[in-house]
Structure 1
Amino acid sequence: MTERPAEPRGRRRPRLLYLAFYFPPSRASGVYRPRATANRLVELGWDVTVFAAPLPFLYDTIGSVDDKLMDTVDPRITLVRPSLNRFVWETDLREYSGFRARFPFLAQSLYTWGQEHVFPEHYASWARASVRKALRMHARRRFDVVLATGNPFASFGAAWLFHKLTRTPYIIDYRDSWTLDQFSEEPRFEDGHPAWRWEGRVLGAAANSLYVNDAQRAWHADRHPHAADRMMTVLNGWDADTLPSIAEPPPAAREAAGAAAEGHAPRFTYVGTVTDQQPIEPLVEGFSRAREHPDMADASLDFYGYFGFFKASVKVLRNRFAAAAAVAGRAGAEPGEGGGEGAEDDGVLAPGVRYRGPVSKTELAGVYRDSDVLVFLNGGGRYVTSGKIFEYMAAGRPIVSVHTPGSAAEELLRGYPLWFNPGGLDPADIAVSMAAAAKAAAGLDGRQVAEAREYAGRFSRNVTLEPLIARLTELAVRRRGVAGRGGSQ
């Protein structure tokens, strides 16, 4: 990393230290919010330094990258990758340090002690390395404010410690919850676990904490009332740099306009990471039933994205699709379908359902353009919004919800004119919604697509990030004023 020379004090731009472990080329689902935030701040004249995961961890340890995503990062951002002790991920004896190889039980005991008494997360070593590096950089050119995003939540601990040592204000961004299981809606840790103590400590000193929906913010306010008045909701959003400024009608409508609608097979699409928290079985059965409707026999459902965040997830999730197809009574309808022989090679998951593989965010515009209907398959309830729903709305396509009632995304979708809501996970209701959405797609015109996009416009990143940017600016101005009066550095 090469640092820029110091600027004259009078012209110095506000300077941000952004602790964002998952940053491009990581493909983690939470990477897009930090990417967009850093890019936007640079556009507005900020000097942004991002501390992110070391590349060997992304490429070699978890194998979770999207190389093309790096092309969307503003080159004016200074990117630093502090070291990480991969102790818990080391499975090859040849990777062990000399100390661990000679004293494996002692090494494990020391590591466990650190988890219990220093910081309760496997990324703690990255946080310590981040603080050391940040202090050296701060001594040369002062940071005005720190923004830390979790997970991992070691970034929160690093922001807290850096604040204690330098008095630099910090904001923490809960992309995910630390102590709340957002899917079971129960506390993630038992009473007395060190995570609770650390969370209270971090929130107590933070200038603000951010949450992706009001329910998530309210839960944390109830658990940590001492910090409730500094909690803010900052919604996720969609990124204008990866979607076209104007969306044309779906293929079904374009073909109808050209008098070629007869025989058009509706194209349903899911975009995103498939996880074990999602209701796969109701979707597969509902789609199977939908294909029994007139004009839906040849309908297709394509999955674009990854199966899980780790390689071991792929087989488990494929088996769930196969089992769901069998329950629907359609397994073995065609060679290789429903997860049978050859399914892994040809991408078939169930009759009419195919896995198309990952697609870079930079290429998603083409996927949306070629889709008639988007399927919002989402796990979790009132605490889970999912960043993907904003992108779905911006695509200007009919959206079919497949999730439990009460999802946080419902608050957003109520105003979207092309939302088809089964009201739950009954496969029969899902089938009706899918058939209705396909029919609507065939009749869409440019005006209707524009209306859908107009509603989605209120959730573009530049809009949803405004409260955060205003607060960061306020903190930076105040910090520079204190420094200018000879206050604490």
Structure 2
Amino acid sequence: MPPGSRGRRPRVLYLAYYFPPSRASGIFRARATANHFAKAGWDVTVYTAPREFFQTYLHNACDPSLEDTIDPDVTVVRPPMGYYAWEKDIRRFGRLRRNFPTVAGNLYKLFQSKVFPEHYLTWIPGVLSHAVKAHFKQKFDLIIATGNPFVSFAAAQVLGKLLRIPYAVDYRDSWTFNQFTEELKFPEGSKAFEWEARVLRDAAEIVFVNDGMRQWHIDRYPYAAERMTVVPNGWEPELMGEQEFVPPAPDRPLRFGYLGTVTSYLPLEELFEGWRIARSHPLLRDAELDIHGHLGFFPQDVAPLMERLPLDENIGVRYHGAFGKAEAKAVYARTDALVFCVPGARYVTSGKIFEYMASGKPIVSVHRPDIAATEVLDGYPLWFRGSELTGDDVAKSFIAAAEAARGVDRAQHEQAVAHAQTYTRAATLGPWEERMRKLVEGTR
């Protein structure tokens, strides 16, 4: 019987600032978590950002098709918030900011330095108000918060204390250090570190996407080590569908594809240097390298990233723009081999690699050899990578992947898909859901 009085379903409040219709990369883990818990019999309520934040202040950074993928049993609530850091229209400024902009700016900075160092702080009052009212109408049994942003963690800690219910935090990204550069984001002793220590001290469970991130936090917060665990990312069969074995037609050029957001952190120079070298090989002389996805997360990102794409060199590189999640299956189907280009080192996994593996197609790695994603790729039979992140090694990987694409058979494809099956969302989220269920049962 599910936990709760008189057999009622366990009730979880899920704090996920970025959630559909946002197209931010982290929403796929958040969407999958909410859906999985709902399918497992939980009463799931998601608190997320107001719709206007994505549509207006992030300039329509939305994918409306993603909302259709939310389980109908999931309740989505959008508490209001202030937009001080994003509002540029003077007509929408408050009275203090309109008349005394310097004073308003100084007060805002002081508030952040003394209370919580994130612009998203203005979301917390609405979350607390809505959650307390909802709890007294129908009790929550558990709070789960996912970050970034990490105001969700702070809200979970405050609500957990206030309502006397357990909470868990899910690190999609690192809060106080940059997993791409491996440098601290804040000065030692800053308010961010104070909050992180407080959150981890009181959390019932602390979840990370890979063991590298878990180990970093164990070293910094050893008192919470026993409550730290790993829940890998995964992929959604309901979105990807079954990828049929269709080898590339022998009379057309091979199509390589990068699918995902292009950011300034990507090693694009090494990628395109390797591609130029590889194009001298007979199998790649007429091959195409298709880039599918948004250029950055904000409008100002587009121009500088476009300049880094060698679209005018006549080397087969093409930019196809963004695609909706509902279109992903078709994009994978018309691609012969995939390019896994990611930044960072041992703390980076990337959610995209799980979909890549689910395609059952050759994968070219363009990244440092020690990133956390290699733990996931280990055992995938169509994975091609170099020992260093150099143009020569990338070229060798492209050539090996091209040979595999031309020679792959059904057995290899099925072996690749079988490896990916160990990373479906059900496989990765299932044990976590079971632990949360036992946690709730133990607190009643």
TM-score over 0.5 for the alignment?
yes
Larger radius of gyration: 1
User: How many angstroms does 1:105 deviate by?
Assistant: 2.2
> Which of 207, 211, 216 is the aligned partner of 1:214?
211
1:57 corresponds, among 38, 53, 62, to 53
The gaps in structure 1 that reach 5 residues or longer are 1-7, 256-260, 323-335, 339-349, 482-489
Q: Does 1:312 align with 2:300?
A: yes
Q: Does 1:274 align with 2:262?
A: yes
In structure 2, the partner of 1:337 is: 312
- Could you give the per-residue CA deviations for residues 172-226 of structure 1, whole angstroms, max 9, x where no partner exists? 0000000111011121111121100000000000001100100100000111111
Q: Is the 8 A contact 1:286 1:428 kept in 2?
A: yes
- CA deviation map 1:36-78 (0-9, x unaligned): 0111111111100000011111000012110101110111111
TM-score where L is the length of structure 1? 0.88
Tell me how far apart the structure 2 counterparts of residues 392 and 100 of structure 1 sit (CA, whole Å). Answer: 48
The equivalent of 1:473 in structure 2 is: 437
Cross-structure match for 2:30: 34
1:351 Cα deviation after fit: 2.5
TM-score when scaled to structure 2? 0.97
1:247 aligns with 2:222: no
Contact preservation (8 Å) 1:248, 1:369: no
Q: Distance in 1 between matches of 2:246 and 2:410?
A: 6
2:318 partner amino acid: R
Which runs of 5 or more residues in structure 2 are unaligned?
none
Aligned length: 440
User: Taking every aligned residue pair, what percent have the same amino acid on both sides?
Assistant: 48
Which residue does 1:70 correspond to in 2?
Answer: 67
* Matching of residues 358-373 of structure 1 within 5 Å: 358-373=322-337
- DSSP-derived class of the 1:312 partner: helix
Aligned counterparts, 1:269-418, within 5 A? 269-322=257-310, 337-338=312-313, 351-418=315-382
Report the Cα offset of residue 361 of structure 1.
Answer: 1.5
CA contact (8 A) 1:179 1:188 kept: yes
Which is further off, 108-117 or 213-222? 108-117
* Secondary structure at 2:118 match in 1: coil
Q: Secondary structure at the match of 2:136?
A: helix
Q: What's the CA shift string for 1:306-350, capped at 9, x where partnerless?
A: 11010111111111224xxxxxxxxxxxxx714xxxxxxxxxxx6
Aligned to 1:196: 193
Q: Deviation per CA, 1:241-261: give whole Å up to 9, x if none.
A: 1112343233x2xx2xxxxx1
Equivalent position of 1:341 in the other structure: none
Given candidates 442, 453, 457, the residue that maps to 2:421 is: 457
Secondary structure class of the residue paired with 2:308: helix
* Stretch deviating more after TM superposition (423-432 or 392-401): 423-432
CA contact under 8 A between 1:213 and 1:385: conserved in structure 2? yes
Counterparts of 2:424 and 2:244, CA distance in 1: 15
Task: Note if 1:128 corresponds to 2:128.
Answer: no
Q: Which amino acid aligns with 2:371?
A: S
The reply to whether residue 446 of structure 1 matches residue 385 of structure 2 is no
Helix, strand or coil: the match of 2:242? coil
Q: Which residue of 2 aligns with 1:178?
A: 175
State the alpha-carbon separation in 1 of the partners of residues 207 and 71 from structure 2: 24
